[in-house]
Chains A and B, each alone.
Chain A
C-alpha cells in the first residue's frame, strides 16, 4: 500500500509542477492565487475532473443516457453515507448503490409497464431521499452541502488521489475498449451480431460513469456533476462530425470550464461547482449559436440562402 501511495503522491507532484509551468506563463494577477498549496490542489483536481467528465460525456450524450447519469449521481448519495458509517472508502459505497439503482431501473423497465423515465425518476429520488435521511442523522449540514454542491477549494489529498486514480482508470478503459465502446454506443445491435458481450459493455460503461461521478463529488458535487456529464459532450456534438474530434473537443470544454470556473469562483468569491457549470453552459451557448455547421446562425443562414436562390 505504501509504495502505491508514494507513487500516487509523486504523480500528483509531477502533474502539479507541470500545471504550474503553464500557470506561470499567465499574467501575475491571474497566476498569483496559485502560489497557495490548496489552490494548486484545486487546480489539478479541476483539470482531472474536467477531463474525465468531458470524456465520458460523449458517451452519455450519444447514448441518450443523460437521465441515467442524473439518476446514478443522485443514487450515489446513500452509498457515500453508508460507507461513511461503516468506515469504508466512499467509492465502494457509491458504486454499490449506483449499480443497484441502475439494475433496479432496468428491472422495473423490463418486468412492469412503467416506462424508463418514470422508472429512473422513481429509483433515484428514492435513493437520494434515503441518502439525505442517513446523512441528516450522522453529519452536519455543511458536510451535506459539500457533498451536494462540491467544494474544490477544500479538496484533501486523499480525494485528489481518488480523482487521479479514477481518471487513469477511465482513460485506460476507454483506450483498451475503444472499439467495443464506440460500436455499442453507435449500434448495439451490430455489436451483438458481431459477438460482443453487450451486457459486459453496458455495465462496464455504467461502472465508468459511477467512477467519474464519485471522482467529481468533491469538485462539482452530486447535483451539478450531471451538467459536466452532458454539457461538454453536447457542445462537442454541435461542433464536429468525427467521434475522435468530439472526444478531444469535449475534454477541452470540460477542462476549460473547470479551470476558468475555479478562477472565477476565487475571484468573485462564489461557489466553485456553480461557477464551473456556468462556464460550461456559456461555452455550450456559444457553440449553439455559432457552430459552423450545426449552429443556429449557420442553419438560418443556409435557409435564408436557399430562399434567396429559389426566388431568383
Chain B
C-alpha cells in the first residue's frame, strides 16, 4: 500500500441484489486525497458501490481494490470509515452520543493489549478518548456528548454519524447521502468539516443528491446509473447535457419507461 495506489479501483465490476443486477461492468480508478461525489437516480446502484466496499454486498464478477489491496484486508486495517444513511441506524438504541462515536474506534481497539480490551472504556487507551472528543468538537456536538442519541434532531444525528466516521481517523471516508434531510447550519458545518478532512489528505467518497454542494466541493463526479455513465470534473459531469444522459439511462433501464419517453 503506497500513496500512489488508487483509493478505489474497480475492474469490470458487476453486482446484483436478489439475482437482479444493480451495477454492470464498472471500471474506474479514484486517486487518493480527492473528494468524489457519486451522482445518479434512485436505485441506480450508488449505495451498492459503497456496500461493496464495506463488505455488506459481494461482487458478482470483476475486481475491486482499495488502496491497492482487497477490501477485506483494508477494512481490518481500519482504512475505511463509513457513514450510513440516517434511516439505517437504530435511534432507539440505549447509547449516548459519546459512546456512539466511540464505536468508530472499535476496529482500532482490537490492536490494544488484551487487558485493556477487557476493561470498561474509562481505562481504554487515551488515544481513543482523544479521537472521540476531537471528533465531537469538529461537528460541534461536544455539549451533547452525554445525551442519548434518540433525543437528537435530524441535523444533530447526521453530525454524530459524521463524528463517528471522523473518530476512526481512516484514510478513506465513505458517506452515504451525508446531506439528506439536514438543516442549513448543519449542512454548512458538515461540508466545512469534510473540506478540512480532505485538506489533511483523506479521500472522501460520497453519494449525494445535492448538486450545488457537489459542484462546489467535489474534485470528481461519478455519474452512475447501473453502468458508469461518466466520470470527470464537476463542471463537465454536472452539465445539463450529462445530467440529461443520466436521466435517459433511467428510462431505458426501467421496463416500459422508454416507451413513455417516446
- Once the chains bind, are B82 and A189 in contact (CB under 8 Å)? yes
> With a CB–CB cut-off of 8 A, which chain B residues contact A243?
93-95, 99
B148 beta carbon closer than 8 Å to chain A: yes
A183 part of interface (Cβ distance < 8 Å): yes
Q: B205 within 8 Å of A by Cβ?
A: no
In this assembly, does A125 line the interface, its C-beta being within 8 Å of a C-beta of chain B?
Answer: no
Is B134 an interface residue when CB atoms closer than 8 A count as contact? no
Chain B residues within an 8 Å CB radius of A62? 90, 93-94
Residues of chain A within 8 A (CB-CB) of B117 are: 179
Which interface residue of B55, B84, B99, B109 has the most chain A CB atoms within 10 A? B55
**Cross-chain contact A194 with B106 (CB below 8 angstroms):** yes
Report the count of interface residues on B (CB-CB < 8 A): 34
* Shortest CB distance A136–B (Å): 41
**Shortest Cβ distance from residue B171 to the other chain A in the assembled complex, whole angstroms:** 13
Contact with A along B81-110 (1 / 0, CB 8 A): 110100011100111100110011011010
A237-B89 Cα distance, complex, nearest whole Å: 17
Question: Nearest Cβ distance between residue A266 and chain B, in whole angstroms?
Answer: 35
Q: Among A180, A242, A246, which residue has the most Cβ atoms of chain B within 10 A? A: A242
Nearest CB in chain B to that of A243: its residue? B94
Q: Is the CB of B103 within 8 A of A192?
A: no
Q: How many residues belonging to A are interface residues under a CB distance threshold of 8 Å?
A: 26
Stretch with Cβ within 8 A of A (4 or more), from B33-41, B70-78, B193-201, B223-231? B70-78
B232 contacts partner chain A, Cβ-Cβ < 8 Å:
no
Q: How far is the CA of A185 from the CA of B99 in the complex (A)?
A: 14
Q: Choose one: A175, A186, A193, A246; the contact of B75 (CB below 8 Å).
A: A193
Please state if B103 and A187 are interface contacts (CB–CB under 8 Å): yes
How far, in Å, is B30 (CB) from chain A's closest CB? 18
Residues on B with beta carbons closer than 8 Å to the beta carbon of A116: none
Q: Are B96 and A176 in contact (CB under 8 A)?
A: no
Q: Which residues of A contact B104 (CB under 8 A)?
A: 190, 194
Chain B interface (Cβ within 8 Å of chain A)?
A: 54-56, 72, 75-78, 80-82, 84, 88-90, 93-96, 99-100, 103-104, 106-107, 109, 117-118, 120, 148, 150, 164, 168, 174
